[in-house]
A = this chain, B = another copy of it.
């Protein structure tokens, strides 16, 4: 590999994450859309493949907020950064929360 490998990403344990940080992370339209997409695709996705309308730098910002809120796990695969939702960990920490949020967004988009 290269002589300066990318630094390892920090993934906080769910126990250290504030409830308000999680709620804040999900209160943004773009981040909520990312989480919905990942919830429907347990195998995850590469950064550049999400159906969102923001600049790549803004997307990096949003991934960072989600990662620091403990909602996603990311790892590098070649030039791509792969993202999965930390469903089990979030469900263990906040039982029923993620499903309720996803369900709430589905009602909203069904009405649109």
Closest CB-CB distance, A103 to chain B, in whole Å? 7
Chain B residues near A111 (CB-CB < 8 A): 15
**Known contacts A20-B29, A32-B19: does B107 contact A100 (CB below 8 Å)?**
no
Which residues 56-108 in A have Cβ within 8 Å of B in the complex? 93-97, 99-101, 103-105, 107-108
Residues B23 and A26 in contact, CB atoms below 8 Å apart? yes
Residues B24 and A27 in contact, CB atoms below 8 Å apart? yes
Residues A108 and B19 in contact, CB atoms below 8 Å apart? yes
A28 close to chain B: CB less than 8 A: yes
Give the B-binding residues of A (Cβ under 8 A).
15, 18-24, 26-29, 32, 93-97, 99-101, 103-105, 107-108, 111
